[in-house]
């Protein structure tokens, strides 16, 4: 049985305001470790401004310099615990370290976190989803996997959240009570009831996301690689400041991937998850975010077989995919569907099945800052089997398999208090800036 050593993750907090904190990870290596670490750091609202990675294929040493949002409070002890949770375990025997990361990876694939259904009913108000609900769930380390938020004609809201618990304690009564109590504190007297139960297969089938998406959206938003014609059209994609190159001449045993691009929130996560999807291992890497908003990345990599990337088609595919992920890691659109105006946000899911952190949190925060209300009523109703209410669907998170790849799709029905193209463009711009960290 392995146990994480105390010095596997070391965090040195910033000595002065404005300076970055330093996170050092020293542990057995595994494919995708950088991606898993970056996902945890992103979940805690931190941005990586500098990074160094080195490994000999068995043991890795990683240093991240991170900064938080202005005015944010970081729970460093909890962050360390979560980072330890994604590191391969270590055992000490006769002064030597034994590595069990392969067995752990298989175990992690078999033991997926249990999904629970959180449902509660309350009266609606501006900012409800962000200020009251999403923020509470994030603070409790409850990850939203799927959501359906609906309203009744009399102004009541029924929220149905599929959630997983990072602490893996939601099966206990006190953890359920803690969650409902926190929501009651945030919602006050407007909250009428709250219930948490394991998500059965029947409930999951009933709450499946709508399989129907607008055809133009399907074609435009679910592209993994950047088409050549779009790569040359800098009016639609800001490619003039983006460079992704592959070089096999500078190292005998490694392929060098060099990236220069504009910075955005979670940029290192987007790079790492792309390499993880391609089963590419980093032997040495350097990441640096400049003060003028650009990033420079040098990565010496090998394939799973320990060889360079010689295949030209794979090189082109990898570069195209990296360009797309760096330009549009999330895709945002406002579309009209008959009488409805709908906000759509999509992002690809990791091949491991894990989604991008805090997307719903940022979407609801952006809408709150724009003073845009999510749809409050109407005649497009359906019956709730649970509580016997007439409901109008106003928000949902679902997953769709399109083009052989799984995507997370966020759909929010907006209130009909705007109709100009300029208003739609402003929503797309504001939501995009919030998701990309440009706000």
pLDDT in tens, 133-175: 888 888 898 888 877 777 777 777 778 888 989 888 999 999 9
Give the residue from 436, 236, 415, 283 showing the smallest Cα distance to 342: 415
Average pLDDT for 419-431: 80
Cα 170 to Cα 75: distance, rounded to the nearest angstrom: 20
- Span 387-402, pLDDT tens digits: 343 334 467 788 888 8
Domain 1-111 CATH assignment equals 3.30.70.260: yes
Cα 324 to Cα 157: distance, rounded to the nearest angstrom: 37
Least confident range from 46-55, 387-396, 398-407: namely 387-396
Q: Which residues pair with 246 in a beta bridge?
A: 257
Residues 6+ apart with CB under 8 A from 290: 263, 296
* Banded pLDDT at 364 (limits 50, 70, 90): confident
Give the residue from 225, 439, 219 showing the smallest Cα distance to 328: 225
Average pLDDT for 397-425: 77
Cα 247 to Cα 300: distance, rounded to the nearest angstrom: 10
What is the DSSP secondary-structure string of 193-214?
EEEEEE--HHHHHHTPPPS---
Least confident range from 147-151, 234-238, 306-310, 419-423: namely 234-238
Would you state the pLDDT for residue 319?
94
Cα 164 to Cα 87: distance, rounded to the nearest angstrom: 20
Instruction: Give the number of other CB atoms < 10 A from CB of residue 190.
Output: 17
pTM greater than the 0.85 cutoff: no
Q: Which residues pair with 145 in a beta bridge?
A: none
Would you state the pLDDT for residue 192?
86
Cα 275 to Cα 303: distance, rounded to the nearest angstrom: 10
* Topology alike, domains 238-327 and 329-438: no
Is the pLDDT at 126 greater than 80? The verdict is no
| C-alpha distances in Å from residue 180, one per residue of 117, 168, 170, 254, 387 | 12, 16, 11, 52, 18
The CATH number assigned to the domain with range 113-208 reads 3.30.70.260
Summary mean pLDDT of the chain: 81
- H-only helix segments in 65-172: 76-86, 101-110, 135-139
The CATH number assigned to the domain with range 329-438 reads 3.30.1360
Give the residue from 397, 265, 401, 257 showing the smallest Cα distance to 330: 265
Cα 437 to Cα 268: distance, rounded to the nearest angstrom: 13
Strand segments, DSSP code E, in 184-269 are 191-198, 243-247, 255-262
**For the stretch 125-158, what's the b/e string if a residue is b when 16 or more beta carbons lie within 10 angstroms of its beta carbon?**
eebbbbebbbbbbbebbbbbbbbbbbbbeeebbb
Average pLDDT for 218-222: 70
Cα 351 to Cα 339: distance, rounded to the nearest angstrom: 36
The CATH number assigned to the domain with range 238-327 reads 3.30.70.260
Cα 136–Cα 22–Cα 52 angle in degrees, nearest 5: 115
Cα within 13 Å of Cα(159), Cβ side: 26
The residue ranges of every structural domain in the chain are 1-111, 113-208, 238-327, 329-438
Give φ, ψ of 81 to 5 degrees. -60, -40
Residues 327, 226: contact at Cβ < 8 Å?
yes
Residues 191, 183: contact at Cβ < 8 Å?
yes
């Amino acid at each position: 049985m392995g146990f994480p050593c105390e010095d596997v993750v070391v965090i040195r907090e910033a000595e002065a305001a404005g300076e970055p904190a330093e996170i050092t990870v020293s542990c057995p290596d595994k494919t995708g470790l950088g991606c898993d670490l970056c996902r945890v750091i992103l979940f805690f609202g931190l941005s990586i401004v500098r990074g160094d990675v080195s490994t000999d294929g068995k043991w890795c040493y990683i240093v991240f310099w991170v900064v938080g949002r202005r005015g944010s409070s970081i729970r460093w002890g909890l962050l360390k615990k979560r980072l330890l949770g994604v590191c391969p375990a270590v055992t000490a025997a006769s002064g030597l370290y034994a590595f069990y990361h392969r067995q752990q990876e298989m175990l992690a694939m078999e033991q997926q976190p249990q999904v629970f259904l959180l449902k509660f009913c309350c009266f609606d108000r501006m900012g409800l989803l962000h200020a009251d609900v999403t923020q509470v769930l994030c603070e409790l380390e409850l990850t939203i996997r799927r959501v359906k938020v609906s309203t009744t004609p009399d102004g009541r809201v029924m929220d149905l959240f599929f959630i997983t618990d990072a602490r893996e304690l939601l099966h206990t009564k006190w953890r359920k009570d803690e969650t409902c109590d926190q929501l009651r504190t945030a919602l006050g007297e407007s909250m009428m009831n709250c219930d948490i139960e394991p998500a059965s297969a029947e409930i999951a089938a009933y709450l499946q996301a709508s399989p129907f998406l607008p055809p133009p959206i399907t074609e435009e938003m679910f592209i993994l690689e950047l088409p050549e014609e779009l790569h040359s059209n800098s009016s639609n994609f800001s490619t003039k400041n983006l460079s992704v190159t592959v070089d096999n001449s500078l190292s005998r045993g490694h392929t060098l991937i060099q990236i220069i691009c504009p910075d955005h929130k979670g940029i290192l996560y987007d790079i790492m998850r792309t390499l993880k999807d391609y089963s590419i291992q980093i032997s040495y890497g350097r990441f640096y975010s400049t003060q003028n908003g650009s990033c420079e990345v040098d990565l010496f990599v090998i394939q799973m077989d320990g060889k360079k990337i010689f295949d030209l088609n794979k090189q082109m595919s990898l570069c195209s995919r990296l360009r797309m992920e760096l330009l549009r890691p999330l895709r945002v659109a406002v579309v009209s569907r008959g009488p409805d105006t709908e906000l759509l946000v999509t992002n690809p899911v990791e091949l491991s099945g894990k989604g991008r952190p805090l997307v719903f949190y940022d979407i609801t925060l952006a809408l709150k800052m724009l003073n845009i209300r999510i749809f409050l009523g109407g005649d497009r109703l359906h019956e709730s089997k649970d509580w016997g209410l007439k409901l109008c669907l106003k928000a949902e998170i679902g997953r769709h398999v399109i083009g052989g790849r799984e995507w997370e799709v966020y759909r929010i029905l907006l209130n009909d208090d705007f109709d100009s193209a300029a208003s739609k463009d402003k929503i797309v711009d504001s939501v995009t800036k919030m998701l990309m960290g440009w706000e």
